[in-house]
Structures are given as structure tokens and as C-alpha cells.
């Protein structure tokens, strides 16, 4: 295809320029760091209290203008071997991985290797016509494709513990998605779709003639200097002393290791979830996005939808304006933007968020349950934006 196309064509949507530069007094990222985020402040005390009550186990990191201002780790990465969590502990990112997948697609679009308004069938074979000829890349990115969620299928549960190579995992999930009916006509509504993001990863592989995992390793992890980040296999996750094991509550309310039998964990992470990183790596990733090292320019390509909705994932935050994007969420809270993503599964919680007006990055990684992670992230968000 031709390499000359307008920014509007690349985006597949018109309103992004209006969202790219928030109209605030601190749009340049020169805002001061709120006192509540400093060591000993409200946020620090809140997280420490949760850890003291054994509600939180993991690592939090706050950076301002690229420099760390608060780093705390609590709990155990591996209870059996008495290995504590620390700043260099590697955690599962669950659905935060979708940000990397969205970025990989946007990078290909900027290079002219694919068109966001083209259909799925332009790049992948084997899907029925009602999917191949109707679902667009744009819809896959915005969770409006109607493809549903392979994690909820019996086929995934039956296959995930039998596939033992990355190729088997990718092919097995793709076949499940090919055989599943649409849950709604493409483009008619929004529903969070792990299947949609898996298909995006397959598109990355097809367009580049290289595996999805290797693409993200080179063009995201290595490009952003995320030195500990990877798609680690389950055997590596089980044995590597640097990696946090997931601990979930059982029916009796006891913490048990949840690496085996977890609904969302297979042999290796996928385009929809379960890559791994340290807190420092996630902060470096957001800094690389800020500095246009991974995509140029980052905001105008990432924001691809006009219609806002109302959304919250924490009992501590009222519903806020949220814009659909090509990967992360875009929240408008108290006239300030917040870009990020959350992720969770039994014994896994992850959150990364960047606030352009103050140039604060908030990272929360946890090997307990995801609900507490959302509350911690919401607490940082409230302090950054000065209330709801």
C-alpha cells in the first residue's frame, strides 16, 4: 500500500487531535509533585496500611519527570522459598499487555505496513466471511469487534495446560476464535475482548512474518529499555527467583498459590495478557512513550475514538469520562488526562498510568488480587489531579 496517507487515515478517526494536547495550565509536564505522593505522605501511608493488614503484596513506584520519588515493596514473591518482593521483582502484567499489542499495531500503521480501517480478512486467513469481511483492525483495537472472550470458553480451559510451545498457544487460541460466533454485529457496541486483542497479535505476526512475541520483544521491550520484561513461560515463572508467584484467596479465605489452575494463565503470555515486567520497566515504557521513542507522535495515534463513556474500576473513584483508545484508557479527571491500563486475574494485579499535566507515572504491581490494585491506583490518581 502507499506510504503517503493523512494522519486522519492512519487513525481511522477524526477527533484525536483535540485530545492530543490537554488544555491545562501544565500541559508541558512541568507541574509540581503533590505532597501526598512524597515519601511519608498520604499515598505512602495508605499502601503501608494495606500491606500491614496483608491486603496488598507487591511493589508501587511513583516517578516525576522521569525520576523515582517513591518506591515500596511488600510481601513475598515466593512464600515456599521465602523470597520477598522487591523493586526488581518481575510481575505478571495481565491485561496491561494489551497496551504493547496496541502499540505494535500502531507502529505498523505508521510504517504503512497495514491500514487500521482494513478488515481482519485482509491480513488473516481462515475466518468465516461474516467475521473476515466485517471486523476491522480499528474495531479490534477499540473492543467493538464482537469477537468475545476466548478465556471464557471450555476449549481454552481444555487446551491451555496441554499447549507447551508459544506456537501451539497462539495457534490453539486462534482456532478457538475462528470457530466462535460473533457476540454482536461489529461496530454496534463495546465489550472488552481478549479474543480481539489476540487476533491483533496474529495480525502483527502475519504482517511482519515474524512471531508476535519477538516483535514485541524488539520493538517495545528493547526499544523502551525494559531490560527485565519478557513473555516468560510458566515453567520459568515457577522457578525463577526474580518472579512473583500469584497468591489468591481460596473458598476458605486462605491465600494459596494460583500459578496452576488459574483461569487466565497458560504456557506463555499472549497478545491479550500475561507478559511480565518490573515496576521500573513499566515506568521506562511510559517515559519512552512520552518522549516519542516508540511512536511519533504518541497521542495522536493512540487516541482513536470520539465518543466518551463513564467508567470506574475502583470503589474509591466515582465514574469518570473515559475515551476508547488504541490500547490504553484515556481518562479525563478533574480536567486532567490520565493514560494507562489495568490488568488482573486471581493472584495477579497490575496498573500503570501517566499524567501528562504533572508528568507523574504511577505503577502498581501485585501478586494478590486485582481489586486492591485498582484502589491504590485510584488513590494516586485522586492526589495527582487534586480530587474528583
Domain that residue 83 falls in: 22-96+231-385
Count the residues in the chain: 388
Same domain, 258 and 377: yes
Residue 351 lies in a domain: yes
Grid-cell match 495457534, residue found:
171
Same domain, 51 and 195: no
Same domain, 335 and 238: yes
Same domain, 371 and 278: yes
The pTM of this model reads 0.91
- pLDDT tens sequence across 374-388: 999 999 999 999 999
Same domain, 305 and 258: yes
CATH code: domain of residue 153: 3.40.710.10
**pLDDT mean over 259-278:** 93
Quickly state the pLDDT bin for 260 (edges 50, 70, 90): confident
**pLDDT mean over 322-347:** 91
Between CA 185 and CA 182 the distance in angstroms is: 7
> Structurally, how many domains does the chain consist of?
2
Same domain, 89 and 103: no
Phi-psi region of 243 (alpha: psi -120 to 50; beta: other; left: phi over 0): beta
Same domain, 41 and 133: no
Same domain, 162 and 69: no
> Residue 349 has what pLDDT?
97
Burial tier of 347 (Cβ tally within 10 Å: 0-12, 13-18, 19+): buried
> Residue 295 has what pLDDT?
87
> Residue 329 has what pLDDT?
87
Mean model confidence pLDDT for the chain: 89
Between CA 200 and CA 198 the distance in angstroms is: 5
- pLDDT tens sequence across 284-303: 999 999 998 998 775 455 54
**Is residue 9 over pLDDT 50?**
no
Same domain, 133 and 183: yes
The kind and range of the H/E element at 8 are helix 7-11
Confirm if 103 and 186 have CB atoms less than 8 A apart.
no
Residue 10 lies in a domain: no
| Domain termination residue (choose one: 219, 249, 276) | 219
Between CA 250 and CA 169 the distance in angstroms is: 27
- Tally Cβ neighbours within 10 Å of residue 278: 24
Same domain, 85 and 112: no
| More confident: 369 or 54 | 54
Same domain, 143 and 260: no
| Domain termination residue (choose one: 188, 219, 250) | 219
| Domain termination residue (choose one: 161, 184, 219) | 219
Residue 176 lies in a domain: yes
Amino acid at each position: 500500500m502507499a506510504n503517503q496517507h493523512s494522519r486522519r487515515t492512519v487513525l481511522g478517526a477524526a477527533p484525536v487531535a483535540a485530545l492530543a494536547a490537554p488544555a491545562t495550565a501544565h500541559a508541558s509536564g512541568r507541574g509540581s509533585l503533590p505532597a501526598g505522593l512524597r515519601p511519608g505522605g498520604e499515598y505512602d501511608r495508605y499502601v503501608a496500611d494495606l500491606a500491614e493488614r496483608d491486603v496488598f503484596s507487591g511493589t508501587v513506584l511513583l516517578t516525576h519527570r522521569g525520576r523515582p520519588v517513591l518506591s515500596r515493596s511488600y510481601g513475598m514473591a515466593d512464600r515456599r522459598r521465602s523470597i520477598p518482593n522487591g523493586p526488581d521483582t518481575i510481575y505478571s502484567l495481565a491485561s496491561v499487555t494489551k497496551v504493547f499489542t496496541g502499540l505494535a499495531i500502531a507502529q505498523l500503521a505508521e510504517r504503512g505496513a497495514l491500514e487500521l480501517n482494513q478488515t481482519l480478512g485482509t491480513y488473516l486467513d481462515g475466518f468465516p466471511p461474516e467475521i473476515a469481511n466485517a471486523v476491522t483492525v480499528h474495531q479490534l483495537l477499540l473492543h467493538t469487534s464482537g469477537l468475545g472472550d476466548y478465556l471464557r470458553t471450555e476449549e481454552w480451559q481444555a487446551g491451555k495446560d496441554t499447549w507447551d510451545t508459544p506456537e501451539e498457544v497462539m495457534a490453539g487460541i486462534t482456532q478457538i476464535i475462528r470457530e466462535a460466533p460473533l457476540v454482536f454485529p461489529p461496530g454496534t457496541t463495546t465489550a472488552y475482548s481478549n479474543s480481539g486483542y489476540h487476533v491483533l497479535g496474529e495480525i502483527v505476526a502475519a504482517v511482519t512474518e515474524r512471531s508476535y512475541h519477538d516483535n514485541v520483544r524488539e520493538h517495545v521491550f528493547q526499544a523502551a529499555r525494559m531490560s527485565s520484561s519478557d513473555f516468560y513461560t510458566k515453567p520459568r515463572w515457577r522457578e525463577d527467583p526474580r518472579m512473583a508467584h500469584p497468591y489468591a484467596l481460596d473458598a476458605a479465605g486462605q491465600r494459596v498459590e494460583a500459578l496452576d489452575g488459574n483461569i487466565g494463565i497458560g504456557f506463555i503470555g499472549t497478545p491479550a495478557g500475561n507478559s511480565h515486567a518490573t515496576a521500573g520497566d513499566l515506568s521506562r515504557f511510559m517515559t519512552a512513550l512520552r518522549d516519542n521513542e516508540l511512536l511519533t507522535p504518541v497521542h495522536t495515534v493512540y487516541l482513536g475514538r470520539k465518543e466518551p463513556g463513564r467508567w470506574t474500576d475502583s470503589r474509591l473513584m466515582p465514574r469518570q469520562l473515559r475515551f476508547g483508545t488504541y490500547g490504553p484508557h484515556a481518562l479525563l479527571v478533574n480536567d486532567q488526562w490520565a493514560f494507562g491500563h489495568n490488568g488482573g486475574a486471581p493472584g495477579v494485579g497490575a496498573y500503570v498510568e501517566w499524567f501528562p499535566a504533572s508528568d507523574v507515572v504511577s505503577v502498581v504491581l501485585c501478586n494478590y488480587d486485582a481489586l486492591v490494585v485498582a484502589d491504590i491506583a485510584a488513590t494516586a490518581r485522586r492526589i495527582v489531579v487534586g480530587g474528583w
